[in-house]
Structure 1
């Protein structure tokens, strides 16, 4: 009996050793915590009335769990997040005091890949990376409604001229706006390199959509002379003129992740032009429109049940 137990223990140790030695170095193929428990699929506790942002907004480290995006982009959390290094060969994470340079492994990989492409563009040393997600995702104390499951990243429009900014400098420096006429048009800071960067990002199969101001989308629609398929992922949205916002698809095997519906068929250029037309000539308000319903803060009970496990995890 003792000999049998010894043999079983030896086999288990050998198996664990093989699993460790067969791992790869890239973030997307390696969990933040290999062998860690998975987030539970249990239903949320309907009595948990805690305000979710007051829970997730103060958690300063990732959960010790298998990496997984949980729920939807604007109502969820992330297990087993990894942290984008503050500085790399072709990127710097900005506003480090926010502690929002966390994401799922696939997102960290994507950002690094895109930064290497950016470094090949004239006048760009790489990328300045804005907000990704909190260490465990979830609703934020300020700012974004989305960025909750580790699959969103903001990319600054400012072309980096150096990648040795100090922590303090990263708090003080600002990106630059690309818009004029309230977003109807690009300004003279917009370049062919910006379009090349957005084209590269949108052409990546990991990407679901990219949010940017309407004038930029129309400018790219007018400038593109070749393949236009990538333009369908470029979605006009308010406020995205100091940065563009990349959203990735749920990674394969992420059963608890809720993908957004894909963009409509076509390049979406006519829709973007409608946005521009409405900026230049705003339609009159509808006197019969119902007022927007008042919405209180999201509670823990309104998040997927697994998010309670994420919040409790070591």
Structure 2
């Protein structure tokens, strides 16, 4: 046999044996982790899974493979709350956030974005905070404009975002709200990959009452609790992604109608009245790893970058190492079995279509 052919055959056999060993090890780890609380598994991951980029499951019940981190600082953004390690996302989302920062700075008079939580390195449920942000397709952007200097690490941890509301009201405070805020939000909503943007009802009303430009994307701006100091961008599942479920499209129209007026009644804000003979609700069961889509067990058990030394938090290398995920692990694409999409996540009522 040709010596080169022999070498190629031996090399292929060696790679196959190695892949089988890796697969067996991963399967063993998946079994061991299956009955652990999912937030403990994903909250403990400090680095992404070296797998092709993929959003898996639903925004509030899923995980993220091949995540990348937005760099701590860019020409038109700065990442906040670095200690949380929640600035990871699907490459499509990170690209969109960076694009929004550039275009808003160039065209809307917005000096730059302060970027809040995106997702954990491997997505999944968080130890605290968000119910969503699990698949790397959600990002929080502060409504505070970026200062014309680089914030210190301490400032990123301790300064607070600015509320857009008058104290103890649902109305926007015109002393802090500017036309640039409106332009930023409407630009974000205009991108076709954006599914919806969550904002406070008072901000939605301000836009309904004052925006004079193109209103075709107004319906993507969805009123919701909180969100008066930041807005929440949610993008659709990337094209061609299997096992990722987008949210149903928002209702047609601008949303400047009775559905918005509902938020200015007492009903949304009043505590639910207990019904006669109501039994105490059982304690909510923690989501286990086995409750998530099956592919999330693969993500949880997958190797990360070769070493933490390769990643320098607070500098570009953390993004560069993660951006290499897809190229570094092309053989791993078959690790994801075809799995059914998760069921609809129940939400408290009453609640409008959002």
Pair 1:240-2:243 in alignment: no
- Please tell me whether the aligned partners of residues 90 and 119 of structure 1 are also in contact (alpha carbons under 8 angstroms): yes
Q: Equivalent residue for 2:266?
A: 278
| Alpha carbons of structure 1 residues 70 and 285: separation in structure 2 relative to 1, 3 Å | closer
Equivalent pair of 1:123/1:159 in contact (CA under 8 Å)? no
| Distance in 1 (alpha carbons) for counterparts of 2:269 and 2:69 | 42
Decide which of 174, 182, 201 is 2:160's aligned counterpart.
174
1:155 & 1:184 partners in 2: Cα distance?
Answer: 20
SS of residue in 2 equivalent to 1:193: helix
| Residue in 2 that maps onto 1:296 | 285
Match of 1:212 among 193, 199, 202: 199
Deviations 1:185-244 (A, max 9, x none): 111211111110010000001100000100100110111234322111101111111100
- In the alignment, which of 205, 211, 225 is matched to residue 224 of structure 1? 211
Shift of 1:62: 0.4
TM-score by length of 1: 0.82
2:128 match: 142
Q: Deviations over 1:39-85 (max 9, x none)?
A: x9xxx979932111111001000001000000000010000000110
Equivalent of residue 88 in structure 1, options 70, 74, 77: 74
CA distance in 2, matches of 1:45, 1:273: 50
Q: 5+ residue gaps in structure 2?
A: 13-22, 304-354
Task: Look up the match of 2:182.
Answer: 195
Aligned counterparts, 1:45-60, within 5 A: 48-60=34-46
- 1:182 and 1:46 map into 2 onto residues whose CA distance is 49
Do the aligned partners of 1:103 and 1:132 also contact (CA within 8 Å) in 2? Answer: yes
For the residues of structure 1 that align with 2:152 and 2:224, how far apart are their CA atoms? Answer: 32
Query: Contact 1:92 / 1:163 at 8 angstroms: preserved in 2?
Result: no
Among candidates 56, 63, 76, match of residue 70 of structure 1: 56
Is 1:261 equivalent to 2:241 in the alignment? no
Task: Find the counterpart in structure 2 of residue 33 from structure 1.
Answer: none
Partner residue, 1:34: none
Question: Do the aligned residues in 2 keep the contact of 1:91 with 1:163 (CA within 8 Å)?
Answer: no
Q: 1:285 to 1:70 in 2, by over 3 A?
A: closer
SS at match of 1:153: strand
Counterpart CA distance in 2 for 1:114 and 1:273 is 30
Report the Cα offset of residue 262 of structure 1: 0.7
Q: Using the alignment, how far apart are the partners of 1:6 and 1:311 within structure 2?
A: 37
1: distance between equivalents of 2:171 and 2:240? 40
Distance change in 2, residues 1:193/1:255 (3 Å):
same
Q: Is 2:78–2:146's contact at 8 Å kept on the other side of the alignment?
A: no
Q: Is 1:312 paired with 2:264?
A: no
Match of 2:347 in 1: none
- Relative to 1, partners in 2 of residues 1:241 and 1:183: Cα closer, same or farther, differing over 3 Å? farther
- Deviation track 1:130-168 (CA, whole Å, cap 9, x = no partner) reads 000000000001110000000000000101122411222
Specify whether residues 134 and 276 from structure 1 end up closer, same or farther in structure 2 by C-alpha distance, changes over 3 A only: same
Q: 148-157 or 289-298, which moves further after superposition?
A: 289-298
SS at match of 1:179: coil
State the Cα distance separating 1:286 from its structure 2 match.
Answer: 5.2
Greater displacement, 304-313 / 225-234:
225-234
Cα distance in 2 for residues equivalent to 1:48 and 1:132: 25
CA contact 2:110–2:184 (8 Å) conserved in 1: no
